[in-house]
């Protein structure tokens, strides 16, 4: 057990890892569990072959091959025994288990019908990812406050169930109210009433995360009382404009909404399906169990969670410009056209202007612009610096959700009752 | 733990690479003598040490590739496990078993015609026989114990990528959960009964069924089963049929002996069901939540305290997500048998005890 403890202290300085009562090792045991990986795994995300099953093999194979190449160099370090690693996984999972909840949904239909075609307009896009239907089973959530706020993934409510209940680890069932949702992160918050002193898990500070560190994911989606556990490493720290981290632990509908936990039993993030295309509900689920999974870190999501608790719906923030692809000469993005009534137009941005910076971050090209805007949601005010005829100007723009706004599905009202008409 | 001889993870991972990558693997020895010299003993026996690579090597030498006929999206190849010295092979059920010529390619490259001995519907497994002596086999009596989070590796003919005498593919993962779960194959419910050992190594690929899932000391913990989808998640599940269940099947304990005869049929015959006395609100279809539209006066439902506009959440142990599931659960009730019913009334959840009456007591 002592070994496990030292293993759990993986983030503390070497000296602290020494086993008390023993002579300090000349070469102290480096109980940093993932160290054979941590230096090399930044290669893993590049292995983005087909977003299909088996990608994970590719990633792992590549990892192992790299390990093989680096093995002589690494042999000097003493690593944690695989069985200790397993023990650490169990210990970490056990720490978060009391905060894990089972979410059940009742009723609900799958995809909302596509919005009607506007006169003369293009055929509206169906806001449903091309995935098989979500399952019918329970889903996973994590308690984030002692008084009954629970965070989970929006994926779990694709069917828009009118009634949601939450089963706590003590087996008690509660009616849950769906508060706000963040469509850019795929997170939403539930609230249950009449509870107090619920166990809230520790949260791992984002700054301490390292590529290559072990993580464990948990979820109750397969059914049954105990959660299924899957293990992996952190693959990347910045994905989707920094909103998510990437892991190679198996993430799937079995654990979306569930926690990704570090070996110390702290919640690193909440597992969500995300995809670079973004937007459509449930997009990203096609990568389930592929070795490419995403989690939204909780440590810096506090302001977001506060808004979700209030019931806000956060949507991607749009400027409302049509940019020219690539970069303008000398950096920046040339505005080809400005949408009528858009935030950009209201702020006085015109065609042929060159956007130079968002906030204090320089915009090198279109990709940078997308990434910088991706950090904001509709309603956020950002300062935009642009150049017009050699003159530089800075304006303040309040982003909106853009004109691509579809009629939103009816809000999920938990105490919704069937409509009035009587059965004959 | 002592027999582990403090291997380090980095090195172990490196050896995995060697095995998977196929580089540096000594060519598979041919012929009995050569193989005998390379045979490894399972952990705990004479040598007392068995490195990771050795464990994989040990497992790879006990897996065979199976080839039959495929059809459409069903692949005609799979994996099998040698489980006796006289050529018994365990595998998962699949279309390849129905083929006229089912061939087994042993780890040393020898090919044999395989005959089916028997099948287990419960495990969706099959036992085959080849006319060959196979001194290297998994001893099913040697039970391995695993816990959630323990490392396991899977050896299988996944995607049929291992050609000729190349060793089969190895994939690493941890034990996720051992549990019973509802599964489907394509759109059909699966007759699989009993627990599954879920792993987070990807085993739900064509060709993988019948492969070995082993602990780091080479002990068999299960056989990769037929490809199924979880009903709950609608995703393919990576699982193994636990070794203890396989052992009972190979030992010839009949499926029927194993399952006690059902005391009662799942659903009472028509006309003998229970009378509860509620009508559900079904105007928006069978998939609507099970709201109570009306409660018959004097009915068991009324006696239990169920009211109009309540939403039924659970009946007995079962969660009823919609009207259809609720109807099914109500149809399984028996007169006189008290069940716990959980329902939502406003924003509170109530727990009631319901004692259904016989259909004959239903007021005309």
Q: Which of B1, B4, B12, B13 is the best substitution to test chain A (most A C-beta atoms within 10 A)?
A: B13
Inter-chain CB proximity A423 and B10 less than 8 Å: no
A135/B291 touch (CB, cutoff 8 Å), yes or no: no
pLDDT, residue B99, reads: 80
Summarised one tens digit per residue, pLDDT across range A268-318 is: 999 999 887 655 666 788 888 889 999 999 988 889 999 999 999 998 888
Question: Which residues are bridge partners to B249 per DSSP?
Answer: none
- Chain A contact probe: residue of B200, B204, B340 with most A CBs at under 10 A: B200
Of A128 and A76, the one with more pLDDT: A128
H or E segment to which residue A168 belongs: none
State yes or no: pLDDT of B51 exceeds 90: no
Average pLDDT over residues A349-362: 91
pLDDT band (50, 70, 90) for residue B163: confident
Q: Name the β-bridge partners of A214.
A: A233
Q: End-to-end CA distance of chain A, in Å? A: 68
What backbone phi and psi angles, to 5 degrees, belong to B245? -70, -35
Judged by DSSP in three states, A203 sits in strand
B10 and A165: CB-CB below 8 Å?
no
What is the arithmetic mean of pLDDT over A45-65? 41
Taking residues B205-222, report their average pLDDT.
93
Are A143 and A99 in contact, with CB atoms under 8 Å apart? yes
pLDDT of residue B185: 83
The per-residue pLDDT for range A78-113, each reduced to its tens digit, is 556 788 889 999 999 999 999 999 999 888 766 554
Cβ–Cβ under 8 Å, residues B79 and B208:
yes
Kindly report, residue by residue over A356-377, the tens digit of the pLDDT.
999 999 998 888 898 899 889 8
A418:B14 CB<8 A: no
Rounded-to-integer distance, Cα A193 and Cα A68, Å: 54
Mean pLDDT of B276-284: 87
SS3 A208: helix
Sign of CA dihedral B178, B180, B181, B186: positive
Q: Are B285 and A107 in contact (CB under 8 A)?
A: no
SS3 B227: coil
pLDDT given at position A82: 83
**Residue in A with minimal Cα distance to B176:** A229
Q: A250 — contact with chain B (CB < 8 Å)?
A: yes
* Secondary structure class of A296 (helix, strand, coil): strand
More confident call, A66 vs A398: A398
Question: How many contacts, defined by CB atoms under 8 Å, are there between A and B?
Answer: 234
Determine contact, residues A18/A29, Cβ cutoff 8 Å: yes
Query: Per residue in B127-150, pLDDT tens?
Result: 999 999 989 999 998 888 899 999
Judge whether residue A43 has pLDDT over 80. no
Of A135-144, B168-177, B252-261, the least confident: B252-261
Chain B hits for A423, Cβ within 8 Å: 279, 281-283, 293
Chain A hits for B230, CB-CB cut-off 8 Å, are: 135, 137, 222-223, 254
| Nearest CA among A115, A79, A131, A68 for reference residue A287 | A131
Give the confidence band of A52 by pLDDT, cuts at 50, 70, 90: very low
Q: Which residues of A touch B284 (CB under 8 A)?
A: 418
What phi-psi label fits residue B298: left (phi over 0), alpha (psi between -120 and 50 degrees) or beta?
left
| Angstroms from B186 CA to nearest CA on chain A | 12
Specify the range with the lowest mean pLDDT, choosing from B2-16, B62-76, B106-120, B274-288.
B2-16
Q: Give the tens place of pLDDT for each residue, B305-355.
A: 999 999 999 998 888 988 888 998 998 888 888 999 999 998 888 999 999
Length of chain A: 424
pTM of the model: 0.77
Is the Cβ–Cβ distance between B128 and B84 less than 8 Å? no
- Residue of higher predicted confidence among B281 and A159: B281
Looking at every residue in chain B, the average pLDDT score rounds to: 81
Triad A95, A96, A98: Cα angle to 5°? 95
Angle between helices B9-21 and B52-60 (to 10 degrees): 30
pLDDT-wise least confident of A27-31, A333-337, A406-410, B136-140: A27-31
Mean pLDDT score across all residues of chain A: 76
Taking CA B35 as the corner, what is the angle to CA B31 and CA B41, rounded to the nearest 5 degrees? 160
Mind telling me how many Å the CA of A232 is from chain B's nearest CA?
A: 9
The residues near A405 (Cβ < 8 Å, ≥ 6 apart) are: none
Residue A357: what pLDDT? 92
Residues of A in Cβ contact (< 8 Å) with B150: 83, 86
- Helix residue ranges, H only, A26-81: 35-38, 55-74
pLDDT at B288 over 60: yes
Q: Is the pLDDT at A122 greater than 90, yes or no?
A: no
Please give the structure tokens belonging to residue B293.
Answer: 């539209």
Residue A270 and residue A152 in contact, taking contact as beta carbons nearer than 8 Å: yes
From the list B43, B57, B36, B32, the residue with the least C-alpha distance to B2 is B43
Q: Is the pLDDT of residue B95 over 80?
A: yes
Which chain A residue shows the shortest CA-CA distance from B10? A36
H-type alpha helices, B102-242: none
Mutate to test the interface with A, among B4, B152, B199, B234 (most CBs of A within 10 A): B234
- DSSP designation for A25: P
């Amino acid at each position: 057990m002592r070994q496990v403890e030292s293993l759990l202290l993986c983030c503390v300085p070497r000296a602290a890892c020494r086993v008390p009562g023993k002579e300090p090792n000349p070469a102290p045991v480096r109980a940093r569990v993932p160290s054979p990986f941590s230096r090399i795994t930044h290669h893993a995300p590049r292995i983005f072959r087909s977003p299909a099953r088996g990608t994970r093999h590719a990633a792992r194979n590549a990892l192992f091959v790299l390990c093989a190449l680096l093995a002589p160099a690494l042999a000097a370090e003493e690593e944690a025994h695989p069985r200790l690693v397993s023990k650490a996984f169990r210990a970490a999972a056990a720490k978060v288990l009391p905060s894990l909840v089972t979410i059940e949904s009742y009723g609900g239909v799958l995809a909302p019908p596509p919005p009607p075609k506007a006169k003369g307009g293009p055929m509206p896009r169906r806001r449903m990812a091309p995935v098989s239907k979500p399952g019918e089973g329970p889903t996973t959530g994590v308690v984030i406050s002692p008084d009954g706020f629970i965070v989970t993934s929006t994926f779990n409510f694709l069917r828009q169930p009118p009634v949601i209940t939450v089963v706590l680890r003590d087996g008690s069932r509660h009616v849950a109210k769906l508060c706000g949702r963040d469509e850019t992160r795929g997170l939403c918050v539930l609230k249950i009433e009449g509870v107090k002193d619920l166990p809230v898990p520790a949260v791992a500070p984002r700054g301490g995360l390292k590529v290559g560190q072990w993580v464990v994911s948990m979820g109750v989606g397969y059914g049954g009382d105990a959660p299924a556990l899957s293990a992996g490493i952190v693959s990347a720290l910045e994905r989707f404009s920094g909103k998510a981290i990437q892991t190679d632990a198996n993430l799937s509908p079995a654990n979306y909404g569930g926690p990704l936990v570090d070996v110390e039993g702290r919640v690193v993030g909440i597992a969500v399906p995300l995809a670079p295309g973004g937007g459509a509900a449930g997009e990203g689920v096609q990568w389930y169990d592929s070795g490419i999974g995403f989690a939204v870190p909780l440590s810096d999501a506090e302001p977001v969670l506060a808004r979700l608790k209030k019931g806000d719906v956060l949507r991607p923030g749009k400027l409302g410009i049509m940019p020219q692809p690539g970069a303008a000469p000398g950096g920046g993005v040339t505005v080809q056209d400005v949408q009528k009534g858009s935030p950009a137009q209201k702020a006085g941005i015109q065609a042929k202007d060159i956007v130079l910076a968002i906030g204090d971050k320089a915009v090198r090209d279109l990709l940078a612009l997308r990434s910088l805007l991706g950090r904001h949601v509709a309603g956020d005010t950002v300062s935009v610096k642009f150049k017009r005829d050699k003159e530089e100007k800075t304006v303040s723009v309040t982003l909106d959700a853009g004109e691509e706004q579809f009629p939103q599905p009816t809000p999920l009202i938990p105490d919704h009752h069937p409509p009035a008409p009587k059965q004959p | 733990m002592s027999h582990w001889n403090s291997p380090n993870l980095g090195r172990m991972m490196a050896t995995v690479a060697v095995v998977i990558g196929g580089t540096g693997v000594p060519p598979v020895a041919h012929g009995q003598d050569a193989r005998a010299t390379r045979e490894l003993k399972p952990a705990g026996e004479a040598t007392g040490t068995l490195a990771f690579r050795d464990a994989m090597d040990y497992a790879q030498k006990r897996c065979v590739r199976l080839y039959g006929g495929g059809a459409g999206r069903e692949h005609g190849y799979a994996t099998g496990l040698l489980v006796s010295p006289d050529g018994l092979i365990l595998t998962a059920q699949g279309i390849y078993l129905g083929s006229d010529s089912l061939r087994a390619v042993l780890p040393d490259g020898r090919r044999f015609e395989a005959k089916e001995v028997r099948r287990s519907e419960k495990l969706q497994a099959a036992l085959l026989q080849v006319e060959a002596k196979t001194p290297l086999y998994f001893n099913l009596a040697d039970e391995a114990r695993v816990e959630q989070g323990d490392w396991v590796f899977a050896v299988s003919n996944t995607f049929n990528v291992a050609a000729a005498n190349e060793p089969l593919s190895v994939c690493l993962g941890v034990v996720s959960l051992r549990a019973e779960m509802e599964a489907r194959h394509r759109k059909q419910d699966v007759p699989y009964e009993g627990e599954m050992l879920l792993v987070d190594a990807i085993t739900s690929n064509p060709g993988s069924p019948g492969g070995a899932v082993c602990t780091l000391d080479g002990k068999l913990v299960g056989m990769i089963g037929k490809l199924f989808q979880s009903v709950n998640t609608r995703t393919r599940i990576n699982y193994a049929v636990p070794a203890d269940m396989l052992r009972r099947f190979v030992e010839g304990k009949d499926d029927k002996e194993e399952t006690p005869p059902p005391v009662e049929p799942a659903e009472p015959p028509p006309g003998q069901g229970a009378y509860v006395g509620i009508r559900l609100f079904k105007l928006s279809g069978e998939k609507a939540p099970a709201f109570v539209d009306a409660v018959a006066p004097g009915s068991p439902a009324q006696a239990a305290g169920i009211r109009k506009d309540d939403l039924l959440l659970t009946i007995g142990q079962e969660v009823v997500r919609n009207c259809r599931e609720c109807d099914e659960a109500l149809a399984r009730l028996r007169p006189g048998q008290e069940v716990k019913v959980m329902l939502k009334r406003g924003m509170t959840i109530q727990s009631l005890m319901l004692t259904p009456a016989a259909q004959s007591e239903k007021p005309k």
